[in-house]
Amino acid sequence: MKYFILFFLLSDVSSISAQNILVEYNCYRNFFTAEHRAQIAAVQPDFLKKFDNEYDRFELTANTTQSKYSFARLMYKDTSIEIAKSSRVYAHVYLDLVRKYIYHVNDSIATKVGRDTLLGSQDWQITDENKKIAGYLCKKATRKDARGHEMVAWFTNEIPIKQGPNTLYGLPGLILAASSKDYTIVAHKVQKLSKPVQIKMPIADEYMTLKALRDAGAMTIKSALNMKKK
């Protein structure tokens, strides 16, 4: 009986550990087509050199029902290249799978909170393709994004958390990589946490839609740039 209780406790601790994770993701931007790159290179070759040398590090903290995805720091492929550090303005993305809400908090207008209702499973189509990412065996899934472009995600059943980077969710395991027309995101490091993760969802007297929050953030940045020009 004692051995059974010990086995149960150890199994329970292992289960809790597996349900609470911290993931570091690298995000590479794919904003420019080959034609755009040629045009930029002809006018501002230093800009492309800087752009190609930079990528972003994000962090996802998650349990089985909640997650928070935030920008962590700017990274450089070649630290020997001396370039001025650029600033980043990103929204913190929160998911609550129980209440079925997605929240955004934008650093440029931190007093405002965006909130929309989660939409089912995002219509993922799971394929038979698989590969290893960050030491985990992953399966491939695809869907169309809001603009009709194909999005690809790689998720692992080894971590039964249905969230992922940015606003991605709804697959039967943690999403460790994703790519679309504009970006590629790949897990750099996955850490299972020994203590349960409690994530506080943003609270506001009045919530904006995510579109309204993005529009307000864009206006704030535009106003700041106009002020600098004066």
Residue 12: its pLDDT value, please? 37
Residue 193: its pLDDT value, please? 93
Instruction: Decide: 105 and 210 in contact? Cβ < 8 Å.
Output: no
Residue 8: its pLDDT value, please? 37
Residue 13: its pLDDT value, please? 38
Looking at the DSSP assignment, which residues form a beta bridge with residue 96? 66, 101
Residue 33: its pLDDT value, please? 67
Residue 214: its pLDDT value, please? 74
Instruction: Work out the number of other CB atoms within 10 angstroms of the CB of residue 82.
Output: 5
| Segment-wise mean pLDDT, segments of 10 residues, the chain, 230 residues | 40 49 93 71 74 88 95 85 62 92 83 86 91 97 85 96 94 96 94 91 88 73 52
Residue 90: its pLDDT value, please? 75
Instruction: Decide: 72 and 24 in contact? Cβ < 8 Å.
Output: yes
Residue 11: its pLDDT value, please? 37
